[in-house]
Structure formats: C-alpha cells, structure tokens
Amino acid sequence: MYRLPHVTRQVLQVPDLLRCMMQFRQGLHIDMFPLRYLAMPLTTNSADLFPSEFANMDLALSPWYFQHGFGRVLRLVECIPRLLPLVLYHAVYHGIVPVVQLLASAYDLRLASAHHHLLDIAAFTGSVDMFTYLLGVVGPAGMSSYASEWAVENGHLVMVQYLNEHRLASFDAQSVLLAAQWDHVELLRYLLDLVKPASVEEAIAIAASQGRKRAVQFLMSRRSSDVEMT
C-alpha cells in the first residue's frame, strides 16, 4: 500500500521551502565560507594603498558575485555583519551601483562607512555615476577635501568639472601644482582657465622635478602665450 512520505521529508525535498526555512536559522551558508575571514584593511586615508587593498577584496568578492549574483549581498552582511563596510567600499570603488542600492535599501550608509567618506572613494575612481547616486543618498556630508584632491591627483577631468560646476569643491593654485606633478595636461588646461595663479613657474619646476615632460611642455607653452597676451 502506498504511503505518503512524512511531512518533514516532503518539506526538505522542496528546495524553495528548504531555503525559506534556512533564512530563519543561525549559522553560515556554505557559499559564504570563503568570505568569512575577509579583513577590513581600510583604516587610513592613504590613497596609495587603495589599489592593492581593493584588489585583495576583489579577489574574494568578484568570483562570489559571478557565481551567486548581487541578490544575496544583503543575506551575506546579515550573516557576517562586519563585512558591511568592506562590501560597501568595494562596490563604491568598482562602481557596482546595484550593490550600493541594495545596501542603501537596508542600511544607513552614513553609519556603515566609518573609515572613509564614500564620495571620496567615488571621486578617487572618477565614477561620476556612482558619485551622483551617493550624493543623493548621503549628501555632501559624505565627502571631505580628499574628494577634490584625489580627483585631481588621478587626472579625472570630468569629476573635477562636476565638482566645480556643482560647487561641491573649490580649486586653487595647489590644484594646479598637483595636476602638474602627475602630468595631467588636459586637467591642467581646465584648471588654468579656472584658476589664475600668479605664475606658472612653480608648476613647471614641480613637473620638471618629477620628469613630467608633457606637463612641462604645456606649461611653458602656456607661459609664453600669457606673456604675449600681456
């Protein structure tokens, strides 16, 4: 005589019901085990360390996203709460807007970003889309003076233009020197139209000391044209 399986066995044999039950049990999902020891290295504003630190994060998180998608990120940070800032910074740095949107739907991003201003990181990478989204979520308080400094240092012309046009940062002679130091000629052209330094001699000297030939040539040409105009 045919007998129905026990109700517990029936439930356990239905994947959707089993997953629903597991949502309310303590413990760690097996797919999260590789992430359980991820460390949070970002404790200073040393931008020099950003590429290596975020590369280490990416080695762990990118394969996980590839296999499981972004939809499980909220469950991940629920199971391992200390990963919230790490996952958030990684998503901002790599411009993964869907992950940031998911986190913003469940958490106050201003509280989740204790070590760094989120807008600073977006400015560092030059992602205007990410910067614009975060500005609407955390407001201007989510940035510091590092935003403009890092945007200039990394030569992100569009980001600098955005910051200036929306009056989110001011640029001065020091910005010109920083752009010269890093050989960002197009940014130099923009900044010199925006800022009127007393002389470009210091910028030429800094660019020359760093071996920035393109910047030196541009600045010398700019100096000559300024002299002719006077």
Q: How far apart are CA 217 and CA 204, in angstroms?
A: 9
pLDDT for 28: 62
The residue extents of the domains of the chain are 31-155, 171-230
Q: Which pLDDT band holds residue 135 (cuts at 50, 70, 90)?
A: very high
Could you tell me if 200 and 222 are in contact, meaning their C-beta atoms sit under 8 angstroms apart?
A: yes
Instruction: Determine the Cα–Cα distance for residues 101 and 106; give it in Å rounded to an integer.
Output: 9
Q: What CA–CA distance (Å, rounded) separates 144 from 168?
A: 10
User: Tens of pLDDT along 147-189?
Assistant: 999 999 999 999 999 999 999 999 999 999 999 999 999 999 9
Q: Could you tell me the pTM of the whole model?
A: 0.82
